[in-house]
């Protein structure tokens, strides 16, 4: 029982979604942008913004010569706009310290703003073909079910999760390891989903430990759930940023306060945007930070 990576790779070769950042012509920068955008954001929302972004800034140096306000503005409604700010900051570092190129070295990637362990390893694998145990929530779910026999992965354990994935990839050659890393993620995203797994068409159903055990319900610790968006400070921040993105000139603070019914929450959200460096106070009002 376990994860049959060769069978999974065969399935992936025939069934993978034709995502633009998977195209062989996609640059390492394009892969990096996609990975940052895909953090907590669905593919369907990312794809059109990614196309616009790469058309406008095809290299890190192109973005570095622009402004942070332009980056945040182009981020649109992807959410978590600090990612746009950090991607802009990373582009400036790539331009000034790496010759405008995305580095291959793990330590160099981890040193960039907004690039954590998962994203750095994903860039190495998906952009440069360097085998890495790339572990996101989809991969953790597949491994928990097929390899361990549990219905859910529970709370993340970064080192242990990475070691478990590497355990199934390590026996293969480098090319199969890279394909396997992609295939594990794809299977969790489209087939071995959280609520409605399509076990009847799963390419590794014959070797799945969860299936062999009779699909027992998960009784372990639950992963923490994300706070509700409606009525949250995140929602208010998004409303403010949307208004700022739609104006070429600073917006009077008095007008912005009319966008939300709770004045205390509005000011808390606004102050957090100012503290994060996403917005700035000017003589004419509030504007995206440049």
**100: which 2 tokens?**
């405008």
Q: What is the mean pLDDT of residues 99-109?
A: 97
Architecture of domain 137-212: Orthogonal Bundle (1.10)
User: In this predicted model, what pLDDT tens digit does every residue of 214-273 receive, in sequence order?
Assistant: 999 888 777 666 677 888 888 888 888 888 887 878 998 888 888 888 889 988 999 999
Residue 85's pLDDT band (boundaries 50, 70, 90)? Answer: very high
- What is the C-alpha separation between 73 and 102, in angstroms, rounded? 23
Between the alpha carbon of residue 279 and those of residues 53, 115, 241, 263, the distances in Å are: 21, 22, 8, 18
User: Is the distance from CB of 256 to CB of 250 less than 8 angstroms?
Assistant: no
Examine the pLDDT at 67 and tell me if it is beyond 80: yes
Please indicate whether residue 195 or residue 93 has the higher confidence score (pLDDT). 93
Domain borders along the chain are 5-128, 137-212, 233-288
Nearest to 140, CA basis, from 176, 193, 219, 211: 193
Per-position DSSP letters for 35-66, written without gaps between them = HHHTTTS-HHHHHHHHHHHHHH-SSHHHHHTS
Q: What is the mean pLDDT of residues 23-47?
A: 95
Nearest to 33, CA basis, from 77, 73, 71, 68: 71
Catalytic residue ranges? 35
- What is the C-alpha separation between 126 and 130, in angstroms, rounded? 8
Examine the pLDDT at 63 and tell me if it is beyond 70: yes
Instruction: Spell out the CATH class of 5-128.
Output: mainly alpha
Residue 171's pLDDT band (boundaries 50, 70, 90)? Answer: very high
Q: What is the mean pLDDT of residues 93-98?
A: 98
Residue 101's pLDDT band (boundaries 50, 70, 90)? Answer: very high
The pTM assigned to this predicted structure is 0.83
Same fold, 137-212 and 233-288: no
Q: What is the mean pLDDT of residues 129-137?
A: 94
pLDDT value, residue 40:
84
Indicate the CATH number for domain 233-288.
1.10.10
Examine the pLDDT at 77 and tell me if it is beyond 70: yes
> Alpha helices of 170-279 — where are they, by DSSP H?
174-190, 209-212, 233-245, 253-256, 263-276
pLDDT value, residue 221:
73
Examine the pLDDT at 2 and tell me if it is beyond 90: no
């Amino acid at each position: 029982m376990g994860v049959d990576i060769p069978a999974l790779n065969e399935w992936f070769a025939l069934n993978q979604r034709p995502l633009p950042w998977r195209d062989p012509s996609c640059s390492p920068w394009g892969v990096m942008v996609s990975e940052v955008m895909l953090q907590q954001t669905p593919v369907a929302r990312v794809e059109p913004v990614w196309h616009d972004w790469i058309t406008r800034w095809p290299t890190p140096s192109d973005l570095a010569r622009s402004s942070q306000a332009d980056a945040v503005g182009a981020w649109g409604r992807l959410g978590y706009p600090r990612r746009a700010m950090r991607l802009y900051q990373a582009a400036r570092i790539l331009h000034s310290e790496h010759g405008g190129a995305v580095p291959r070295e793990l330590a160099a990637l981890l040193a960039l703003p907004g690039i954590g362990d998962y994203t750095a390893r994903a860039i190495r694998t998906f952009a440069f073909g360097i085998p890495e145990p790339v572990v996101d929530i989809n991969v953790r779910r597949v491994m928990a079910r097929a390899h361990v026999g549990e219905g859910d992965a529970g709370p993340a354990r970064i080192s242990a999760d990475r070691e478990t994935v590497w355990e199934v990839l390590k026996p293969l050659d480098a090319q199969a390891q890279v394909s396997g890393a992609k295939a594990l993620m794809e299977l969790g995203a489209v087939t071995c989903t959280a609520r409605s797994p399509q076990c009847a068409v799963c390419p590794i159903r014959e070797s799945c430990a969860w299936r062999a055990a009779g699909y027992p319900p998960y009784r372990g610790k639950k992963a923490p759930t994300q706070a509700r968006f409606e009525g949250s400070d995140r929602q208010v921040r998004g409303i403010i940023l949307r208004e700022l993105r739609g104006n070429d000139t600073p917006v009077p603070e008095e007008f912005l306060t009319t966008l939300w019914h709770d004045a205390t929450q509005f000011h808390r959200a606004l102050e957090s945007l100012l503290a994060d460096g996403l917005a700035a106070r000017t003589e004419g009002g509030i504007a995206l930070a440049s």
